[in-house]
Structure 1
């Protein structure tokens, strides 16, 4: 696996070594020993999630203010534009974002550490999105920042308004949201 820091160094792009031929392909999507050697991260993943979304669906920007989750995310069907936003008040990159295209074709994963908001928009007809988390889902601590916050100014690759859940449509502006210390 190849691990590359993004413009926000703690957010990591992970590219697996893929073995393929005329029959198809094989790759390890996760190997704990290699993960720890390549990233220096020791935490355990405690939950795996799988979502399926249609074209134009935007999920996020989600985070848990307590029981903060690190997420290792990837797309196994279709393509998404995946975003991480630094919500650590004391960080020099507070309020900044990074985005990566994740697809079934490129097989890349993104590591989003605790202290970051996360979201994605589906660019293909459908996308299936898998992610491992370092903490359990805790709805009582869940927060959402609105996807189009002008202070964050994410450059989403959209040609029309995204499809949002009621919760995501009611997300707060960063300046009004609870963030990490």
Structure 2
């Protein structure tokens, strides 16, 4: 396991997950609701920044590694899943939306692993639709965590619209990746 700055940032993101989750369940006597919203949003935003930063540093410092390439998406998916599960439990996100997004992540991760095993990983490389889906998803989660109006606009309402849009893009991107993989799947079934 290579120890370098990008991998340490990825580990830091994983270590923030229990802090993030516990923060939202602290009694109101320790942190009021406003503080919980603010701090959980800041922690999630920090996780998003470290996600971008670890990739940037890995490339610019030439510190990419197979372990880092494995751990980085795992950290991302764990943080997003934790946020969606907590938001669903707190009634801020519909459970079926959380299921769609988390289910897609599991499905596409398994598909990518299988495609890598058969030497066709480039067939399901990250696409623009996946990047757009991620951007909407991250912004939606930030707004749903914050909950409070931003410049007179309801963060909850905008976050809800964006998470529904992210769910549609999630399904679209899953179908897109499955269609890209279909020729390889068909070929393997004939063998």
Q: Which structure dedicates a bigger proportion of its chain to helix?
A: 2
Larger Rg: 2
Q: Which structure dedicates a bigger proportion of its chain to strand?
A: 1
TM-score tier, shorter chain, comes to under 0.3
Q: What TM-score do the two structures reach when normalised by structure 2?
A: 0.24
